[in-house]
Amino acid sequence: DAKTTQPNSMESNEEEPVHLPCNHSTISGTDYIHWYRQLPSQGPEYVIHGLTSNVNNRMASLAIAEDRKSSTLILHRATLRDAAVYYCILSSYNNYGQNFVFGPGTRLSVLP
């Protein structure tokens, strides 16, 4: 499985945008980029995913570099509820259901 690298922790002020980076320099052309988050004492929760183009949904935006070796999860206005561990995960187009390889993720703290 291709590996991802994320900062261990980040801090943001409430109501401000947050940019969470992820490096995946060994990504293959058929790997999707997924972002999940884990709120305290809960299971991981889907945030967003993409392949090549930038993606937006009601939770966040995903900006994917042109060479696909990095991506950035953007929370447009952080709230206290967004404090969580954020995981960047790759999955291969060659497979349907497949296991996710979770790294340590980025622990986001949101300050009031």
Partner 1 sequence: EPEVTQTPSHQVTQMGQEVILHCVPISNHLYFYWYRQILGQKVEFLVSFYNNEISEKSEIFDDQFSVERPDGSNFTLKIRSTKLEDSAMYFCASSEGMRRGADTQYFGPGTRLTVL
Interacting residues with partner 1 (CB under 8 A): 30-32, 34, 38, 42-46, 49, 51, 87, 91-105
CB 74 within 8 A of CB 61: yes
* Minimal distance, residue 13 CB to partner 1, in Å: 27
* Minimal distance, residue 108 CB to partner 1, in Å: 16
Distance in angstroms (rounded) separating the CA atoms of residues 24 and 4 = 5
Amino acid at 32: Y
Residue (95 or 112) nearer to partner 1, CB: 95
Token pair 């060994």: residue: 26
DSSP, res 94 = T
Residue (70 or 91) nearer to partner 1, CB: 91
